[in-house]
Amino acid sequence: MAARILHRLRHALGAEGTREERTHDGVEAEDCPESSELEDDTEGLSTRLSGTLSFSGHGEDEEEEEEEEEEEEDGGGEEPRAGDAAQDGGSLLSRQLQELWRRSRSSLVPQRLLFEVSSASVVSERSSKYVLYTIYLIRSGQLDKAPAAISRRYSDFERLNRRLRGRFGCDMAGIAFPRKRLRRNFTAETIAKRSRAFEQFLSHLHSIAEIRRSPEFLEFFFLQDLRAAQRLTCTGMYREALATWANAYRLQDRLGVCGSGRFLLTLAGLVVCHQELDQLGEAHGCCEQALQLLEAQDSHPLLGPFLQAHVHLAWKVGKDKRQSEARLQGLQEAGVPLQQQPSLKECLIKEPLE
């Protein structure tokens, strides 16, 4: 009797299993085709990847490890379920992406100088009309209290592009430049596109060491200011000249050319203007900076004028002038005719800025 009951139970269970297989292979299987499963899986994957990855610090890592230890202790000897395995896989994927992002960030070289078109204005003159772009030179990661700025028109950029392509043909081959248009040059859309294009153009040029050190590239930024400051100084407009010399100083500082002859000329202009405006402390500071740059250049034509100006200003503001006096005496003993040395102002007037 017991054998018959056991046989009937086995037969019933086998028949029920057969019906379930037929159901899965029949109509219900058509309601969930394979493509829909792939789409669901793809959608879930894209959802996991589209979010912002959050990076935890050392303290958060310790908290995660403590939570994992507590889960292991609470779980005892239970076998992992399928959902737990999927969650562990997602966590592993997230960690791998985070590590990849960290490596990519550490491998990137931070851009040290940014070029930003802050404004653009349409200028109408008697016989011409053009757009004047104002570009700020900004050190990345730093707050510039007094930004270095230039104002240039399309023809200035075009001239720079032409000069650089003539000298650095290979390096310039991959650098794009916005083409000249015959119409719609003054629409907001065109001005906005050119502003972004000029930012990218200057950034690309600055990323190439040979180009960013070239006179063509450097003079594009500060030669106009130097000429304007020189002209204003010669005509006695010292306050306007001071602002222009100061901007030329900041431009050269951002571009990393603080040891050049043009930078020393800029310091000379600052000394003269500060002195003429009775700002003796500022003039003395500019003199000291120039003398530090000229410490190993005993034959530089501006050394004597800077030393004489420093001695005079140090006496005025009550600072130590013995080192400059000793250096002047050394020059005199070496045969340098100090009495015939021009003043800093005379040097500014005579210096050709081509």
What is the secondary structure of 91-127 as a DSSP string? HHHHHHHHHHHHHHHHHSPPPSEEEEEEEEEEEE-SS
- Cα–Cα distance for residue pair 297/304, rounded to 1 Å: 11
Indicate the class that CATH gives domain 111-213. alpha beta
For residues 289-299, average pLDDT = 93
- For residue 66, the model assigns a pLDDT of 39
CA angle 74, 78, 84 (to 5 degrees): 85
- For residue 126, the model assigns a pLDDT of 86
- Cα–Cα distance for residue pair 55/61, rounded to 1 Å: 10
Architecture of domain 221-353: Alpha Horseshoe (1.25)
Amino acid occupying residue 224: Q
Instruction: Tell me how far apart the terminal alpha carbons of the chain are, to the nearest angstrom.
Output: 119
Tens of pLDDT, residue by residue over 241-270, are: 999 999 999 999 999 999 888 999 999 999
Asked if 267 and 290 touch (Cβ cutoff 8 Å), the reply is yes
- Cα–Cα distance for residue pair 148/249, rounded to 1 Å: 9
Tens of pLDDT, residue by residue over 184-203, are: 889 999 999 999 999 999 99
- Cα–Cα distance for residue pair 122/104, rounded to 1 Å: 42
pTM, two decimals, is 0.67
- For residue 323, the model assigns a pLDDT of 95
Amino acid occupying residue 98: Q
Tens of pLDDT, residue by residue over 295-341, are: 988 899 999 999 999 999 999 999 999 999 999 999 999 998 988 88
Q: Which residue spans of the chain are classified as CATH 1.25.40.10?
A: 221-353
List, in sequence order, every residue forming a beta bridge with 121; answer none if it has no partner.
132
Q: Is 105 exposed, middle or buried (0-12, 13-18, 19+ CB in 10 A)?
A: exposed
Q: Which residue spans of the chain are classified as CATH 3.30.1520.10?
A: 111-213
26-57 per-residue burial string, b: 16 or more CB within 10 A, e: under 16: eeeeeeeeeeeeeeeeeeeeeeeeeeeeeeee
